[in-house]
A = this chain, B = another copy of it.
Amino acid sequence: MDQNKIPQATAKRLPLYYRFLNNLNQQGKKRVSSKELSEAVKVDSATIRRDFSYFGALGKKGYGYNVEYLLGFFRSTLDQHEITEVALIGVGNLGTAFLNYNFMKNNNIRITKAFDADPEKVGKEIRDIPVYHIDDLEKLANIKVAILTLPADEADAIANKLVENGITGILNFTPARITVPKSIRVHHIDLAVELQALVYFLKHYSLEK
């Protein structure tokens, strides 16, 4: 794909920049400096300028960045001009919350299909999102990204079925560390780990940097 890949750390911040630029634009702001952005997204301003610079000279010296231009640039960089469909695997507590929780207000990613093993749930719709049986993964059609919110002991087996059915990116909310071909991208969000790490930092790092 892209030959000159930007640093991963930068890539992970792009959606954050994008969201904040959207806010600014809706507020009618025309220009913004790296310093202002920095205060809003809590990222050092030099880091922001460096991040942007990987895409070329997007700003003007002595002026800052044109909000509309920058927003348009990131919109296409992040493929926000078209809708990206995502599947949710596991309609339990957390999965249901994601279906209801409108966390994608400001972007063009949509959960459009859900899957579960429970016959009580299969066939129903939650917020217009149909729930299919986990054995009907061909229903995924062209979806490439899946959110995993199912019991940890099923994660590995089902992840592999997902891959067989064309999934190439997985956002894994289970504590399991799944084993998939290395061409598949897996991001982990592990609530217990995050909490424990936070507690550890409080005990051992508090105050001074």
Which chain A residues (114-150) contact chain B, with CB distance < 8 Å?
144-145, 147
Q: Known pairs A78-B199, A185-B205; list 20 more (Cβ under 8 Å).
A: A2-B204, A6-B204, A11-B200, A14-B197, A15-B200, A16-B193, A19-B175, A19-B193, A78-B196, A78-B200, A79-B203, A86-B195, A94-B98, A106-B192, A107-B196, A109-B195, A109-B199, A145-B199, A169-B198, A169-B201
Interface string of A55-88 (1 = CB under 8 A from B): 0000000000000000000000111000010100
A183 contacts across to B, CB distance below 8 A: 206-207
Q: How many residues of A contact B (CB 8 A)?
A: 63
- Which residues of A does B touch, CB under 8 Å? 1-2, 5-6, 8, 11-12, 14-16, 18-19, 40-42, 77-79, 84, 86, 92-94, 96-98, 100-101, 103-104, 106-107, 109, 144-145, 147, 168-169, 171, 175, 177, 183, 185, 187, 189-207
